[in-house]
Chain A
């Protein structure tokens, strides 16, 4: 399944008199891996939440595959069927096993037990944690938990992954593994990925880098390597 196309048109978000995002416009091509960088409080998380329908813009419009995200009546089904979230803190449910956490989206989608099990096993295999299926999150390391969170984000076969500081609480080795995993997901599934991060490694892994400061988006010049990758990727999609 190809990745999603994301379109934002003059999106603003204010809260309690504070302008968090100012007229952000953005276009992301299907299968693109976009890095979103910026200081804390610049609006990265808010931007991802708006695209993922966790929040609504004050003004402006957001379309994901022509779905008007800014005015969704049932955002839960959009989040279940189109988007996969990866958060800085893995947010695994502590009382559920690794397998059950990965199946969480599929339970909401009423997928049969057999299929849920098979899909979760396949994804845990992909993130290298199949042997920990029955462990509880408290028994895992930080890196392992984040890999489970990625498997969970992929369980619903999303066309768009929104990752908010996915390596923010990990050491460099674990971070590198997460980046490789996200790249592998993009390669294998063609999923569109938007990543917000402080991690300097992000820029070298991404097709395109965006910078957000004080709620305003800018697109700095790309590194030659990233530019070449981007062109190659866009050609593949075309």
Chain B
């Protein structure tokens, strides 16, 4: 206990060095927090996107670079509807970046009468009834000050707004829906769709539905949960892998940073450790003291890193222009993992310096002085 208190006092009396050591850890932790939060947010968003119109499953082209570049023939809808366990299926076209000044807003092309569009809840007006008509989400309407009767331009095509809907799902409420045929013309995908939304019957679970469709249509990618939605497509997988790699790199950099700073501190304070050894401190006692210093500064750094990471996550999505559809998920699990990593960094980064400190030869060091 005394060793802990004396170590804390010593850290407090060297505020600049303590701060700089903690900052090294903080930057590593901040990177991890930001990445985890953004990845978690993207996953949550993907999960919500999957539930477009309360569908159970989303069907995409396998091996597409990402879900937005998936291309499927609309003729598949009939085959899916005929598949056991499936209650309904409907084609959807996804247009990204189609609305000027709202580049993050999604525009969905959907059939006027489908299980997806039938579930939309309108706060004003009604579902479109024909070509060149659109309904917009409450979020987009608020951002662009749109009302029913106004015009919305999608990829240089004007649409008459017939209704404002609210679904309670950010990326749907921040987007718009236009007739499928209009969306096909805009994207040049005549007779095609980006995805097929699938509704299962009441006795078929999502897992069963994924298994049934995958077995019958091996060329399709079926997404049944937020995690696989976030990883869908080559780009999604790359992003998932990249997040992991970046987190590991951040961990390694943080660990090396802590070790380097602790090692520098040990080298700089060799005389102190030599003196401690000379007055009777054993090697393990000196090593323990260095470890306590390392863990304490790492935990301080982790706390600072959490703060920087939370701010950084929000800044990151803002810089990427993705704030419309990715809200960083700052959960207790994300924060807990970051703190745990901080303690691990302190332990791992402090091990070698502690070993070095314990082996300082008092005779050599004190004689040099």
A residues with CB within 8 A of B: 45-46, 49, 52, 54-55, 74, 76-77, 79-81, 85, 87, 89, 91, 93-96, 100, 104-105, 107-109, 113, 116, 136, 152-153, 156
Residue contact A45 to B367, C-beta cutoff 8 Å: yes
Once the chains are docked, how many angstroms separate the CA of A74 from the CA of B283? 10
Interface positions of B from 258 to 287, Cβ below 8 Å from A: 271-272, 274-283, 285
Contact, CB under 8 Å: A74 / B9: no
Residues of A within 8 A of B271 (CB): 91
24 pairs, CB–CB < 8 Å, chain A vs chain B: A49-B363, A54-B278, A55-B363, A79-B278, A79-B279, A80-B280, A80-B281, A81-B280, A85-B278, A85-B279, A87-B366, A91-B274, A91-B275, A91-B278, A91-B369, A93-B272, A94-B272, A95-B10, A100-B9, A104-B279, A104-B281, A105-B279, A152-B279, A156-B280
CA distance A182 to B55 in the complex (A): 89
CA distance A46 to B363 in the complex (A): 8
Q: Which residue of chain B has the shortest Cβ distance to A90 in the bound complex?
A: B275
Task: Report the Cα distance A6→B46, complex, angstroms.
Answer: 79
Q: Which residues of A contact B3 (CB under 8 A)?
A: 107
Q: CA separation between A6 and B362, bound complex, in Å?
A: 21
- With both beta carbons as reference points, the residue of chain B lying nearest to A87 in the complex is identified as B366
Q: Please name all residues of chain A whose beta carbon is closer than 8 Å to the beta carbon of B272 when the two chains form the complex.
A: 93-94
How far in angstroms is the closest Cβ of chain B from A133?
A: 14
B contact residues around A96 at 8 Å (CB):
6, 9-10
Q: Does B145 contact A (CB under 8 A)?
A: no
Given that A77-B282, A104-B279 are known contacts, is A54 also in contact with B366, CB under 8 Å in the complex? yes
| Distance of A116 Cα from B36 Cα, bound (Å) | 48
Question: Which residues of chain B are within 8 angstroms of A89 by Cβ–Cβ distance?
Answer: 369
Q: Say which size band chain B's interface belongs to.
A: 20 to 34
B202 at the interface (CB under 8 A from A): no
Return B137 CB to nearest CB of chain A, in Å: 60
Best-buried of B6, B9, B274, B277 by chain A (most CB within 10 Å): B6
Contact in complex: B277, A76 (CB < 8 Å): yes
Contact status of A91 and B282, CB under 8 A, knowing A76-B277, A113-B2, A136-B13: no
Is B280 in contact with A100, judged by CB distance below 8 angstroms? no
Identity of the chain B residue whose Cβ is nearest the Cβ of A76 in the assembled complex: B282
Interface residue B14 (Cβ < 8 Å from any Cβ of A)? yes
Interface string of B274-318 (1 = CB under 8 A from A): 111111111101000000000000000000000000000000000
A100 CB, min distance to chain B CBs, angstroms = 6
Q: Which residue of A lies closest to B284 (CB)?
A: A76
Q: Which of B4-38 contact A (CB under 8 A)?
A: 6, 9-10, 13-14
Interface centre among A77, A104, A107 (most CB of B within 10 A): A107
> Judging by beta carbons under 8 Å apart, are A108 and B13 in contact?
no
With a cutoff of 8 Å between Cβ atoms, the chain A residues found around residue B282 in the complex are: 74, 76-77, 108
Q: Is the interface of B mostly helix, strand, loop or mixed?
A: helix
Q: Which residues of A contact B279 (CB under 8 A)?
A: 79-80, 85, 104-105, 108, 152-153, 156
Minimum CB–CB distance from B339 to chain A (whole Å) comes to: 26
User: Which chain B residues border A104 with CB–CB below 8 Å?
Assistant: 276, 279, 281
A54: chain B residues within 8 A (beta carbon): 278, 362-363, 366
Do the beta carbons of B363 and A109 come within 8 Å of each other?
no
Contact of B283 among A46, A76, A93, A95 (CB under 8 A): A76
Chain A residues near B283 (CB, 8 Å)? 76
**For A46, A49, A76, A81, which residue has the most chain B Cβ atoms within 10 angstroms?**
A76
5 cross-chain pairs, A with B, having the tightest CB-CB distances, nearest first: A80-B280, A95-B10, A55-B363, A76-B282, A54-B363
Residues 344-369 of B contacting A (Cβ, < 8 Å): 362-363, 366-367, 369
- Closest residue to B273 on the A side, CB-wise? A93
Q: Which residue of B lies closest to A113 (CB)?
A: B2
CA distance A82 to B279 in the complex (A): 10
CB atoms of A107 and B2 under 8 A apart: yes
**17 extra A-B contacts, CB within 8 A, seeds A76-B277, A96-B10:** A46-B367, A49-B363, A54-B363, A76-B285, A79-B279, A81-B280, A91-B275, A91-B278, A91-B366, A93-B275, A95-B10, A96-B6, A104-B279, A105-B279, A105-B280, A107-B2, A156-B279
B363 with A76: CB separation less than 8 A = no
Q: How far is the CA of A61 from the CA of B346 in the complex (A)?
A: 43
| CB proximity of B283 to chain A, nearest CB, Å | 7
Write out the residue numbers on chain B whose beta carbons fall within 8 Å of the beta carbon of A85.
Answer: 278-279
Most chain B beta-carbon neighbours within 10 Å: one of A81, A93, A153: A93
- CB closest chain-B residue, reference A88: B369
Contact A76 B281 (CB under 8 A): yes
* B358 smallest CB distance to A (angstroms): 10
Q: Are A95 and B369 neighbours in the complex by a CB distance under 8 Å? A: no
Interface contact A109-B280, CB-CB below 8 Å:
yes
Task: Find the B residue at minimum CB distance from A104.
Answer: B279
- Whether A100 pairs with B6 at a CB distance below 8 angstroms is yes
Residues on B with beta carbons closer than 8 Å to the beta carbon of A74: 282
Q: With the chains together, A131 CA to B369 CA distance in Å?
A: 29
B10 contacts across to A, CB distance below 8 A = 93, 95-96
A162 to chain B, nearest CB (A): 10
8 A Cβ contacts from B104-146 to A: none
